[in-house]
Chains A and B, each alone.
Chain A
């Protein structure tokens, strides 16, 4: 059951450029979360945005949420080679208060030095 789907699947940019990744989902949500995964490792939580929020910032990360379009975007500004990783969005399962997340398939970001 696919809830979140990221776009693009892969992104390659130069260091210093901005990277934008998008996530679309299907059902109503309580919140939407973004995670990062370095190659061969576990996922790390980056940021959580609630359904009643439209934008949130954390350092070089900016997340927007448009519940009318059921979409979110993650912007990484002034990218660094160390930002190279896969990025996943995650949302509730069927919008219920279950604590259970469904993850998209991720966007693979490569930042070239």
Chain B
């Protein structure tokens, strides 16, 4: 069964900490995405990547960075966590294929609380 795996389901961090959220996919997908989901705001795109070592900003990149050193792994980094980054973080991957955009496969999500 194909999978997108997020390293933690729940995470509690302190304000000012550097936080790493890891996402691994086993489908050899080129595209990977990080979203955050908040009540009333839906899913908002933070960063995405079309290839190894490639990244592009989404709609809300401020306070975040990403790393994609290998095709299967896409990491989201909170440089200095703040309470307004408390949220559900969702990683997804897709393959361009013949239908653009392709369907996404999502991880189970990481619920991050910054205290």
Residue ranges of A at the interface with B (Cβ–Cβ < 8 Å)? 1-2, 30-31, 33, 35, 40-45, 48, 50, 88, 90, 92, 97-106
Closest A residue to B42 using CB positions: A105
Told that A35-B104, A92-B100, A99-B96 touch, could you supply 8 new A-B pairs with CB distance under 8 A?
A: A1-B59, A31-B99, A33-B104, A45-B104, A50-B99, A97-B101, A100-B33, A103-B42
Asked whether A106 lies within 8 Å of B42 as measured between CB atoms, the reply is: yes
Closest A residue to B105 using CB positions: A45
Asked whether B101 lies within 8 Å of A98 as measured between CB atoms, the reply is: yes
The distance in angstroms between the C-alpha atoms of A30 and B99, with both chains bound, is: 8
User: Known contacts being A99-B31, A99-B50, A103-B43, is A43 close to B90, with CB within 8 Å?
Assistant: yes
Flag the segment in B13-21, B66-74, B79-87, B106-114 that touches A: B106-114
Asked whether A101 lies within 8 Å of B108 as measured between CB atoms, the reply is: no
Asked whether A48 lies within 8 Å of B99 as measured between CB atoms, the reply is: yes
Asked whether B103 lies within 8 Å of A102 as measured between CB atoms, the reply is: no
Asked whether A48 lies within 8 Å of B103 as measured between CB atoms, the reply is: yes
User: Known contacts being A43-B106, A100-B33, is A88 close to B111, with CB within 8 Å?
Assistant: no
Which parts of B34-49 form the interface with A (CB within 8 Å)? Answer: 35, 40-43, 45, 48
Judged by a CB distance under 8 angstroms, whether B63 is at the interface is: no
Set of chain A residues within 8 Å of B101, measured between Cβ atoms: 30-31, 33, 92, 97-101
Q: How far is the CB of A22 from chain B (nearest CB, A)?
A: 16
The distance in angstroms between the C-alpha atoms of A51 and B96, with both chains bound, is: 16
Asked whether B43 lies within 8 Å of A40 as measured between CB atoms, the reply is: no
Judged by a CB distance under 8 angstroms, whether B94 is at the interface is: yes
The distance in angstroms between the C-alpha atoms of A39 and B85, with both chains bound, is: 20
